[in-house]
Amino acid sequence: MKRRLKIFNLENNNKIFGLRRNVFFLGLVSLFNDFSNEMIQSVMPSLLFVTFGVSPLGIGLIEGVSDALASFLKIFSGWFSDMIGRRKIPAVVGYVLSVCTRPFFILASNFYHVFTIRLVDRIGKGLRDAPRDALLASSVAPEELGKSFGYHRAMDAAGGVLGPLAAFLILPVILNDYKKLFLIAFAVGILAVLSFFFVKEVPAMPQKPNGSLVRLDLGLLRANWRFALFLGAIFIFGLGTIPITLMFLRPIGLGFGLASIPIAYFIYNITFVLTAIPLGRLSDKIGERKVIAGGVVAAIASYLVLAFSNSVAYVVLAIVCFGIYAAATEGVKRALAAKLVDPRLLATGEGLLHASAGLSSLIAGIVSGLLWSSFGHSAAFIYGAAMSILGLIVFYLISFNGFIKHRIENRISAR
């Protein structure tokens, strides 16, 4: 852990609301960007399904392919950031690319136009996330990582709440003119890019003395084997992560209308916003592993309640538990990854983390969707609970069990 301290640049000790300057403004970047993006995404199902006549399969294809592309790009954007020793420039390029796609929705007239625009937007996401997370991690001391990532994810979720709410309030005023809504969303997105002017670059640690570049192969994972084991556990966790949109179909199964989905989404996001920072601070005090494990237990409870309960009150409780799970894992696992990976590969590590979680979540979405369609909602949620339990066992063995952990360390070190 001592080598980890070298990467932090704390020359600017000014704090805003108890947060490092970079952390505060990176939070604003995510707030405005998600505000803008979710304004558009909240009306996209209606635009695609009603206006363009796109099938549910087509809508799923757009999101699945674009998110998968973003996940894999995060590995290479992180590696590239480490190689050039810069974080801010790749992150800014990614945000600019995503924001600039939003006015083009005005020109879209069919499925292929929307598909192309969405792919470009997700390319921007793939370029920015890993360097941005590395920049955030490099801007704070180790004891502030959990709180900082928790704040960042809370601001992200806040944008996810405010965007659809703003779209709901604005559409009647502009007579449901989607084109005007897209222009307003673009204007909000510009605020995200402008917020980057207040973020200072934190140069990455130099590469090896001989200037050789680190290759993206298994050798990288062997050299960072603690991080590799962590990635494996995160991948298994992800195999049990049922898409949140699928979870929100449960109230409809209890007889509620489509209006219940925005309410469920609101409950989930508010829970996330309220708990992300406290759980991040808790992880700084008791350790990230314990908070992540507690979050997975909350997810298991949520899945089991949704699988077997027909009570609306219990379904609401399950959604709250899932919000706690997300708050306890999404930011905290990024903080833990920043501590486990070689400082010279900080952005690469964050990219691998994003890709691991993204790929496994894509698989989970396909499997849980097939189980739901074939055998009903209970089968999907039982699958989610079972895979989460398996992931928790693996995570315990490699993180908490001293004997198993020692055997793994010896075996990998001997290779």
Q: What is the mean pLDDT of residues 222-248?
A: 80
Residue 321 sits in the same domain as residue 412: yes
Q: Residue 262: its pLDDT value, please?
A: 67
Contact 145, 291 (CB under 8 A): no
Continuous segment of H or E residues that includes residue 186 = helix 178-195
Whether 251 is in a domain gets the answer: yes
Whether 392 is in a domain gets the answer: yes
How far is the CA of 221 from the CAs of 3, 140, 214, in angstroms?
A: 18, 25, 11
Q: What is the mean pLDDT of residues 162-166?
A: 87
Quick check: 310 pLDDT over 90? no
Residue 257, both tokens: 């209308």
Question: Confidence class of residue 212 from pLDDT cuts 50, 70 and 90?
Answer: very low
Contact 276, 327 (CB under 8 A): yes
Q: Residue 33: its pLDDT value, please?
A: 96
Q: Give the residue with greater pLDDT, 49 vs 398.
A: 398
Q: Give the residue with greater pLDDT, 72 vs 30.
A: 30
Q: CB atoms < 10 A from the CB of 175, how many?
A: 7
Residue 186 sits in the same domain as residue 296: no
Residue 306 sits in the same domain as residue 185: no
Whether 211 is in a domain gets the answer: no
Quick check: 36 pLDDT over 90? yes
Residue 195 sits in the same domain as residue 300: no
Q: Residue 214: its pLDDT value, please?
A: 56
State pLDDT tens for residues 264-305. 777 888 899 899 999 999 999 998 999 999 999 999 999 999
Ranking 130-134, 157-161, 195-199, 206-210 by mean pLDDT, the lowest is 206-210
Residue 230 sits in the same domain as residue 185: no
Residue 363 sits in the same domain as residue 273: yes
| Domain housing 162 | 14-204
Question: Confidence class of residue 211 from pLDDT cuts 50, 70 and 90?
Answer: very low
Q: Give the residue with greater pLDDT, 9 vs 104.
A: 104
Whether 342 is in a domain gets the answer: yes
Quick check: 209 pLDDT over 60? no
Highest mean pLDDT among 227-236, 271-280, 359-368 belongs to 271-280
Contact 161, 270 (CB under 8 A): yes
Q: Residue 206: its pLDDT value, please?
A: 57
Domain C-terminal end among 204, 228, 250: 204
The dihedrals phi and psi of 15, each to the nearest 5 degrees, come to: -120, 150
Q: Residue 377: its pLDDT value, please?
A: 86
Residue 317 sits in the same domain as residue 366: yes
Residue 235 sits in the same domain as residue 144: no
Residue 171 sits in the same domain as residue 23: yes
Residue 293 sits in the same domain as residue 327: yes
Residue 255 sits in the same domain as residue 175: no
Highest mean pLDDT among 8-12, 221-225, 278-282, 400-404 belongs to 278-282
Whether 210 is in a domain gets the answer: no
Task: Measure CA 58 to chain center.
Answer: 23
Residue 61, both tokens: 């294809």
Q: What is the mean pLDDT of residues 46-69?
A: 70
Whether 120 is in a domain gets the answer: yes
Q: Residue 354: its pLDDT value, please?
A: 85
- Rounded mean pLDDT of the chain? 82
Residue 258 sits in the same domain as residue 130: no
CATH number of the domain within which 251 lies? 1.20.1250.20
Whether 212 is in a domain gets the answer: no
Q: Residue 4: its pLDDT value, please?
A: 44
Contact 90, 81 (CB under 8 A): yes
How many independent structural domains does the chain possess? 2
Domain C-terminal end among 141, 175, 204: 204
Whether 38 is in a domain gets the answer: yes
Q: Residue 385: its pLDDT value, please?
A: 93
Q: What is the mean pLDDT of residues 358-372?
A: 82
Q: What is the mean pLDDT of residues 74-86?
A: 88
Contact 331, 149 (CB under 8 A): yes
Q: Residue 183: its pLDDT value, please?
A: 95
Domain C-terminal end among 179, 204, 229: 204
Quick check: 218 pLDDT over 60? no
Q: Residue 318: its pLDDT value, please?
A: 92
Contact 336, 289 (CB under 8 A): yes
